[in-house]
Structure 1
Amino acid sequence: MSLIADRLAAVRSLMSERGYDALVIPRADEYLGEYLPEHNERMLWMAGFTGSAGAIVVLAERAAIFVDGRYTVQVRNEVDPDLFEYHHLIEEPPVAWLTTVLGEGSQVACDPRLHTLAWYQQSDQHLAAKGITLMADADNIVDRCWQDRPAAAISPAVMLDEAYTGASSAQKRSDIAELVRVKGADAALIFAPDSVSWLLNLRGTDIPCLPILQSFALLAVDGTCQVFAEPGRVPDGWEQHVGTGVTFLPESDAEAALLGCAGMRVLADPDSANAWTQLCLARGGAELVAAEDPVLMPKASKNSVEIEGARQAHLRDAVAEIQFLQWLDAEVAAGNLHDEAVLADKLGSFREQGEHYRGPSFDTISAAGGNAAMCHYNHQNVEQPGRLTPDSVYLVDSGGQYLDGTTDITRTVAIGDPGPEVRRMFTLVLKGHIALDQARFPRGTTGTHLDALARQFLWREGHDFDHGTGHGVGAYLSVHEGPQRIAKAHNPFPLQPGMILSNEPGYYRDNAYGIRCENLVVVQPVDADTEVPMLGFEALTMVPFDRRLLDVSLLTVEELDWLNRYHQQVFTLIAPRLEGDVLAWLEDATAPVAA
């Protein structure tokens, strides 16, 4: 029996003891963040799946894994089909599937700490309509069976200076408390750790790539705040840094504090806060006021200090990326076709030389040839990293965390001559990138309204890509920040000045190649005399696109002008920071492209 089969057997045994017919295991922890510490990688332990989203459902005689379109190839490479059925997370959600395979009277268990209240309530109603009961069980079954589960990493948070944040914690708490008061609440549950980190001007150090303080908080309308975090994560000197009115309590005190809110109106976001916290509040007699996290929009709309910090971080990041691309071209010319791990490490070594660098913003996607067709490929999760091959493309998606900003960039690089098909598809993707970059739109426009701009040229020829076109990015916080995004799926949040997003259309041909063109941009007012005030995008990323991958015949005069202007801007801003062979490479890489 395999190790995974043994684990399934152990989980099923405990499910049987507790009387459960099914167990839902999401890729989430009690903070509901995208990036999980090692001890909370329950899907990885249960099935060997390394992706960043999905869910597993275990029944007595069968099990299923649910992933979205980013992982349809990857899941088949990682998860044993003899043990798990494959399902699409969006087209056939786990709870909907359960209603087709379970009978009336069945019991489905979930850990309410790992799901939002909205998911819990909707799932409860959906299952109840079929006579199935959803059971909230915070004594996590997987954790009970995970005998060699790693201990949680606990280290002190970093206190981020106002020179980087642009506002003190006291000012932020006062501003957010006023938003809570206007909503008619006495307090707010600030649940998302990145919201708490932003509110307190603290950054955590326990989760690779994600500098959040693992915590949640209760903020009263007078600006006072109770923060629940493991004591070892609270830095010395925090009192002076955050100002008066903040109390840190161990997480073990959270249940009593939540139950003690009897008679209070507590604002909580059912779409982002976990079910457990809100069920505790309700059980204790608090009245829940359902509303979005009041920190969400202020955090997303960066102030002038944060925007300037992002610009400076991207300039330093561009130096590292350009040094890497020059080195890569030189190595390929010399016949040194390295593997993906060597390439990722080399890029990381250049970033490490940058001022204020604090580590990667996510695991580098270093993908050679057909591996790039898996848009979230990770060479660290395969037995043997792929190697560059002649006449192909290499896709590298990477980013850095800096004290003054978070970066994320994808460049697709020609390795030799990849041929006319690849050049055609690259150019179609780049045309979409340019169209989105050039968008002008009135206030009230959402990313959903703009998404088709990036896909139009692929759609015309019967192609598409199965991921969002753009995600929000934090200020030395999560590289995937909400609520702003650009995607086909409906998003109700208008794009506002100061929001940072990615612009990253792509194209992927299974087992052959992958293409993505990604810059980060910030929403800014357009300085133009128009009847209706307009917003647009300012590019933050300053790295040339690979001109060797262009099919110039597909570009309009306007698109060529955009590319040449962008490359001239890159050269003007980055050339003074370079010298020698790297400077010469940049001069060549940004030379004007003729029609």
Structure 2
Amino acid sequence: MTHASRLAAVRNSMAQQGLDAFIVPHDDEHLGEYIPPHAERLDWISGFNGSAGAAVLLADKAAVFVDGRYTVQVRHQCDPALFSFHHLIADPYLDWLSAELTAGSRVGFDPRLHSHHWHQRAEARLAASNITLVPVTANLIDLHWHDQPVPDCRPALLLDQEYSGQHSEAKRNRLADTLAADRVDAQLLTQAEPINWLLNIRGRDIDCLPVVLSFALLHQNGEVQLFADTDKFEDLDLTAHCGQGVALLPIGELETALQTLGEQGARVQLDPHTANAWSTLMLSQAGAELVFAEDPCMLPKACKNPVEVNGSRAAHLRDGAAVCRFLAWLDRRTAEPHPEQEDEGTLADQLAAFRRQNPEFVEPSFNTISALGPNAAMCHYHHDNGTPRALGQDAIYLVDSGGQYLDGTTDITRTVAVGQPDDEMRKLFTLVLRGHIDLACARFPAGTGGQQLDALARMPLWQQGYNFDHGTGHGVGHYLSVHEGPQRISPKGSMVPLTTGMIVSNEPGYYREDGFGIRCENLQVVQPAHTRGDIPVFEFETLTFVPFDARLLDLDWLEPKHVQWLNNYHKAVWEKISPQLSGSDLTWLEQATRPL
């Protein structure tokens, strides 16, 4: 089916159900950032396959809404004859719907794919224009997606305490004590990462995200009902791993469990931003008392314990050696007579091959962004979306990649010279790296949130009239999601205080449409700073050790303190990575880490 015929089919179902509009988010029922192939409904209807966005279908028009990361990509992937394009933040689709529809219109939505918070806000926003929000029982995309993929059933993994650092029973009892203190009977957990963290389990349900997709109910006594595909746990002793009080149930029994809680008049706590509207409607209609609060797993999951931090350090050293081998190989290839025999795809494959040489490597932590020239201006570009661009015609190359290891998750971006960068490219790269260094050097008092630090990374660009339209840093999990909350560094970021054990990225960038892209990214872990003052202060410990490309530097745009930081960093890279390299790779590293 073409996208035009798909739109026609869904519109026919809309008409049959008396709907004037239908909303298609990029979400599954767990409302996480990453979704399995069978949930890629936004891609099926529009062609856009970015990690965030929504489509809104009307009887005579349709629109796709994306954030700043995807404003270029969406125009490449979607047919402008079928869809108009809008900024998800600057032009919210609820406002667009209110303007496009007349009073009395009916807007369909799948309550499993939207949060309770969204449902409450959307219902009120549309009601102000006398528009009704209508839940559908069967998703209108699924009615017509006849070759929709079947969910995978790959075995679960029980993560040993050697890696997790804390037994599930201790985690569950800690959270249960809080529930008891707040007179909460049960906590509904809906996102995969918190559940997998709580039970020290992992899975392969989604590429690059090592989780078992599931729901869970944590009860006041510390017992857990885990709702998942039970076949994934065949031959695994969950009780021996998690301790007493963990019951594994088919995912289809969640509805009955919620109804039972409602019939008991239980006080059930859930996060309104991550629990889907279906679950809250089910609970409230059954008679439960709803208590709204942030997912209690999120903060302790974000604050890595010493075992997790040490594991992350080790994973980054192995990963750094793999990336260095790749960059050394890349320099050798670009020096050969016909480097165009390589393209973005073969470059990404070669980097993956170096990572796979590590026996501890499990899988990538996300789809590698391997981008030459103008393709690097798309922040979340992927070479499979078109014809991979060949090496040999561009001055710079951006590669953003990462790995999942049993002891940690990595994420690194390097921008390197593969041709002859001009003076403006070198200036902009230096400004980006300067912002990276300024953030890496930050010391901040207890209670500081990422939003307060974001400007440090942007200031060198701002002062010259430049900026970038994405957050400076995101939280990173421990053998979990490469994007985790509640911590992040962003202009509209979290005010959750950055504290010991939180891992965040530091990745300022610059992007010129149809020109080039630049990003410099390391991961950092928050640690107490040793000062002589009278207040607690934190700082960042760098976890990533791979050289930055000195060929892209313009030293006129660096102060002596930045040069000193870079020299110290490159000295540390040499000391930590050189024992893992040999031959021409070692020679490359020696040259790449020479002092400025």
> What is the TM-score normalised by the length of structure 1?
0.98
477, 491, 502: which is aligned to 1:474?
477
Q: d(CA) in 2 for partners of 1:391 and 1:479?
A: 29
Name the structure 2 match of 1:584.
587
Name the structure 1 match of 2:357.
353
Q: d(CA) in 2 for partners of 1:473 and 1:64?
A: 32
512, 517, 520: which is aligned to 1:517?
520
Q: d(CA) in 1 for partners of 2:52 and 2:431?
A: 28
- SS in structure 2 of the partner of residue 210 of structure 1: coil
Cα offset, 1:404, TM superposition: 0.3
Structure 2 residue 126 is matched with structure 1 residue 124: no
Name the structure 2 match of 1:154.
153
Q: d(CA) in 1 for partners of 2:569 and 2:482?
A: 24
Cα offset, 1:329, TM superposition: 0.2
Q: d(CA) in 1 for partners of 2:444 and 2:285?
A: 46
Name the structure 2 match of 1:431.
434
Deviates more, 1:386-395 or 1:567-576: 386-395
Name the structure 2 match of 1:441.
444
Q: d(CA) in 1 for partners of 2:99 and 2:89?
A: 16
Cα offset, 1:273, TM superposition: 1.3
Q: d(CA) in 2 for partners of 1:562 and 1:190?
A: 43
Q: For 1:44-83, what aligned pairs fall within 5 Å after superposition?
A: 44-83=43-82
- SS in structure 1 of the partner of residue 94 of structure 2: helix
Q: d(CA) in 2 for partners of 1:18 and 1:366?
A: 44
Deviates more, 1:500-509 or 1:95-104: 95-104
Deviates more, 1:442-451 or 1:146-155: 146-155
Q: d(CA) in 2 for partners of 1:467 and 1:564?
A: 28
Q: d(CA) in 2 for partners of 1:265 and 1:592?
A: 62
- For each residue in 1:409-434, what CA deviation from the matched residue of structure 2 results, as whole angstroms up to 9, or x when unmatched? 00001012211110000000000000
Q: d(CA) in 2 for partners of 1:123 and 1:142?
A: 21
Q: d(CA) in 2 for partners of 1:444 and 1:182?
A: 25
Q: d(CA) in 1 for partners of 2:420 and 2:137?
A: 55
Q: d(CA) in 2 for partners of 1:159 and 1:28?
A: 27
Amino acid of the residue matched to residue 141 of structure 1?
A: L
Name the structure 1 match of 2:2.
3
Name the structure 1 match of 2:571.
568
Q: d(CA) in 1 for partners of 2:574 and 2:530?
A: 24
Q: For 1:286-305, what aligned pairs fall within 5 Å after superposition?
A: 286-305=288-307
Cα offset, 1:243, TM superposition: 1.4
- SS in structure 1 of the partner of residue 261 of structure 2: coil
- SS in structure 1 of the partner of residue 319 of structure 2: helix
Name the structure 1 match of 2:86.
87
Q: For 1:436-515, what aligned pairs fall within 5 Å after superposition?
A: 436-515=439-518
Q: Which runs of 5+ in 2 are unaligned?
A: none
Q: For 1:93-492, what aligned pairs fall within 5 Å after superposition?
A: 93-235=92-234, 236-262=236-262, 263-335=265-337, 336-337=339-340, 338-382=342-386, 384-390=387-393, 392-492=395-495
Q: d(CA) in 2 for partners of 1:84 and 1:552?
A: 46
Amino acid of the residue matched to residue 92 of structure 1?
A: D
Q: Which runs of 5+ in 1 are unaligned?
A: none
- RMSD between aligned residues: 1.0
**Runs of 4+ off more than 4 Å:** none
Q: d(CA) in 2 for partners of 1:152 and 1:228?
A: 15
- SS in structure 1 of the partner of residue 217 of structure 2: strand
- SS in structure 1 of the partner of residue 142 of structure 2: helix
- SS in structure 2 of the partner of residue 430 of structure 1: helix
Aligned length: 591
Q: Is the 8 A contact 1:215 1:229 kept in 2?
A: yes
Amino acid of the residue matched to residue 422 of structure 1?
A: M
- For each residue in 1:314-339, what CA deviation from the matched residue of structure 2 results, as whole angstroms up to 9, or x when unmatched? 00000100000000000101132310
Amino acid of the residue matched to residue 207 of structure 1?
A: I
> What is the TM-score normalised by the length of structure 2?
0.98
Amino acid of the residue matched to residue 389 of structure 2?
A: G
Q: Is the 8 A contact 1:433 1:503 kept in 2?
A: yes
Q: Is the 8 A contact 1:113 1:138 kept in 2?
A: no
- For each residue in 1:104-128, what CA deviation from the matched residue of structure 2 results, as whole angstroms up to 9, or x when unmatched? 1111111111111000000001111
Alpha-carbon spacing, 1:84–1:391, altered in 2? closer, same or farther (3 Å): closer
Q: d(CA) in 2 for partners of 1:573 and 1:12?
A: 59
Q: Is the 8 A contact 1:429 1:507 kept in 2?
A: yes
- SS in structure 2 of the partner of residue 436 of structure 1: helix
Name the structure 2 match of 1:25.
24
Name the structure 1 match of 2:14.
15
Q: d(CA) in 2 for partners of 1:138 and 1:245?
A: 34
Percent identity over the alignment is 54
Amino acid of the residue matched to residue 63 of structure 2?
A: A
Q: d(CA) in 2 for partners of 1:294 and 1:321?
A: 36
Q: Is the 8 A contact 1:390 1:417 kept in 2?
A: no
Q: d(CA) in 2 for partners of 1:419 and 1:390?
A: 14
Q: Is the 8 A contact 2:360 2:405 kept in 1?
A: yes
Name the structure 2 match of 1:43.
42
Deviates more, 1:211-220 or 1:386-395: 386-395
- SS in structure 2 of the partner of residue 524 of structure 1: strand
Q: Is the 8 A contact 1:180 1:294 kept in 2?
A: no
- SS in structure 2 of the partner of residue 53 of structure 1: coil
